[in-house]
Amino acid sequence: MIQTSENDPPCGLTILSLLSILTGLVAGVICGSFRLLLEWSDGLRTAFALGPWHGFPAGLLLILASSLASFLAALMVRRLAPLASGSGIPHVEAVLAGSTTPASAGLIPVKFVGGLLAIGGGLALGREGPSVQMGATAANTIGRVLRLGRSDCRVLLAAGAGAGLATAFNAPGAGAIFVLEELVGRFEARTVCSALGASVSAILVARAMLGGNPDFMVSVAPAVIDVSTQLLFLLTGLAMGVLSVLYNRTVLTTLRFAEGLPVGVETRAALIGALAGVIVWLTPHLAGGGDWLTQSAINGTIAWSVISGLFVLRLALGALSYAAATPGGLFAPMLALGALAGLGCGDIAHVLEPRLAGDTAPFVIVGMAAMFAGSVRAPLTGIILVTEMTNATSLLLPLLSGSFAAMLVADGMQEAPIYEALRNRAAVAKR
């Protein structure tokens, strides 16, 4: 690895911005290809599960395939790139905090292939964690090859991480804000310009590959904004705050439990993959990242009677999937849970306030952002991310209200943000 010094003079803002554009282009190709292949594998998995050959032999094959995919993903991570395990965002944050070293370029193929195997096999994991870490690693590699100073490499690394998030969700604004709010925690001209340049160039590449439509199709009637309806959105945010704490604690508790089992990492992953395979066989739309669930919640096509059951199922499957130690993120499963809970809150709200005319989509969208705010404690990122994913620009005030309430509850319950908690676990494990 090319060594650089902390005292190396930083390059000019113009040069750094141009390099951030290059970083975004590279991240866009890597993460756009990753998303494209994930969409293909998701469609293939669902088509096979619902095809005319659906039955016991095919179901057994699905279970074995999911188990083998998870096994191989965990094996690749352990033998080739241990830093590729899990989301990768806690590692990126630790690098930017100066508490660990960046990953080598060898992480990218392991994260890419391992993520395809794990998420494509049906584990309830998101594409954003791998995308963020691959974007950050690509950016750091570019900086090292060009012999940039350490401070410039860190700026590029943060910008590459944001470009990865932008590509994962077709959300360039959220990618840039994620860098400033969650990764570095401050607004500086060099970081701002680099984050914007990388996110914009990455999204141009990704849209050329994937198209420019929002992730979710939403038809939201203008929300009735007055004191009574705002109170309902605040109450939704309060509920999401409680559920976000439940989510964080479930993930962390499941990790502790899984790591205490008397089996190897690969065996654990294979068992969890087999469980995911059963779900793929019986209800294929409930496996994977959860985009189908989120869209169905937005459409209001999920019956009230099954919302709580689906929430518990996805909560358990998501926590177990993360404990498999394969590549995979938390954002998409978290947003799906927020959508389900928001749908339930919307159904209750319409009983209390008939003027809302039966449209639950605003509550679903607020639930997504509020769940994110309570779990990650990055409310601006959550609001912009959900707005870009749904194009629901008329819901800014409800989104602000719900996220505010969720943050208040999660902080009041003294629950650490999920990535901070995961980062602290990793630091303790290294001692």
Clarify whether residues 80 and 156 are in a common domain. yes
Residue 216 lies in a domain: no
Clarify whether residues 355 and 397 are in a common domain. yes
Task: Of 326, 314, 315, give the one whose Cα is nearest residue 267.
Answer: 326
Q: Distance of CA 215 to CAs 2, 207, 277, 333, Å?
A: 39, 12, 25, 14
DSSP E strand stretches across 245-396: none
CA 158, chain centre distance (Å): 16
Residue 192 lies in a domain: yes
| pLDDT value at 55 more than 50 | yes
Clarify whether residues 91 and 191 are in a common domain. yes
Instruction: List the CATH number of the domain containing 103.
Output: 1.10.3080.10
Clarify whether residues 242 and 136 are in a common domain. no
* Position 3 confidence tier, pLDDT thresholds 50, 70, 90: very low
* Position 222 confidence tier, pLDDT thresholds 50, 70, 90: low
Clarify whether residues 298 and 170 are in a common domain. no
Q: Between these two residues, 226 and 263, which has the higher pLDDT value?
A: 263
Residue 218 lies in a domain: no
Domain span at residue 393 reads 227-430
The DSSP code sequence of 171-188 is: -HHHHHHHIIIIIS-S--
Clarify whether residues 288 and 167 are in a common domain. no
Clarify whether residues 164 and 238 are in a common domain. no
**Residue 346 confidence (pLDDT):** 94
Q: What does the alpha-carbon distance between residue 164 and residue 172 come to, in Å, rounded to a whole number?
A: 9
What dihedral angle (degrees, nearest 10) is formed by the CA atoms of 82, 29, 149, 191? Answer: -100
| pLDDT value at 131 more than 50 | yes
Residue 100 lies in a domain: yes
Q: Beta partners for 329?
A: 126
Residue 224, C-beta contacts closer than 8 angstroms, at least 6 positions apart? 355, 356
**Can you say whether residue 287 is alpha, beta or left, with left for phi > 0 and alpha for psi between -120 and 50 degrees?**
beta
Q: 128-142, 180-194, 277-291: which has the highest mean pLDDT?
A: 128-142
**Residue 8 confidence (pLDDT):** 55
Q: What does the alpha-carbon distance between residue 132 and residue 73 come to, in Å, rounded to a whole number?
A: 18
Least confident of 52-66, 72-86, 166-180, 255-269: 52-66
Residue 150 lies in a domain: yes
Q: Are 341 and 311 in contact (CB under 8 A)?
A: yes
| pLDDT value at 11 more than 80 | no
Q: Which of 178, 210, 242 is the last residue of a domain?
A: 210
**Residue 428 confidence (pLDDT):** 73
The mean per-residue pLDDT over the stretch 258-262 comes to 91
Q: What does the alpha-carbon distance between residue 253 and residue 88 come to, in Å, rounded to a whole number?
A: 19
Clarify whether residues 265 and 316 are in a common domain. yes
* Position 226 confidence tier, pLDDT thresholds 50, 70, 90: confident
Q: What does the alpha-carbon distance between residue 346 and residue 239 come to, in Å, rounded to a whole number?
A: 12
Residue 363 lies in a domain: yes
Residue 142 lies in a domain: yes
* Structural tokens at position 344: 């339930």
**In total, how many domains does the chain have?**
2
Clarify whether residues 170 and 202 are in a common domain. yes
| pLDDT value at 1 more than 60 | no
* Position 2 confidence tier, pLDDT thresholds 50, 70, 90: very low
In this predicted model, what pLDDT tens digit does every residue of 354-374 receive, in sequence order?
A: 777 668 999 999 999 999 999
Residue 84, C-beta contacts closer than 8 angstroms, at least 6 positions apart? 76, 77, 103, 107, 110, 111, 114, 133, 327
Only one residue has tokens 């039966």, namely: 358
| pLDDT value at 295 more than 80 | yes
Clarify whether residues 26 and 139 are in a common domain. yes
Q: Which of 180, 210, 240 is the last residue of a domain?
A: 210
CA-based diameter of the chain, in Å?
65
Q: What does the alpha-carbon distance between residue 258 and residue 246 come to, in Å, rounded to a whole number?
A: 18
Q: What does the alpha-carbon distance between residue 17 and residue 31 come to, in Å, rounded to a whole number?
A: 20
Clarify whether residues 142 and 247 are in a common domain. no
In this predicted model, what pLDDT tens digit does every residue of 196-214 receive, in sequence order?
A: 999 999 999 999 999 888 8
Residue 8 lies in a domain: no
Q: Which of 154, 180, 210 is the last residue of a domain?
A: 210
Clarify whether residues 39 and 183 are in a common domain. yes
What predicted TM-score, i.e. pTM, was given to this entire model?
0.94
In this predicted model, what pLDDT tens digit does every residue of 300-357 receive, in sequence order?
A: 999 999 999 999 999 999 999 999 999 999 999 999 999 999 999 999 998 888 777 6
Q: Are 110 and 76 in contact (CB under 8 A)?
A: yes
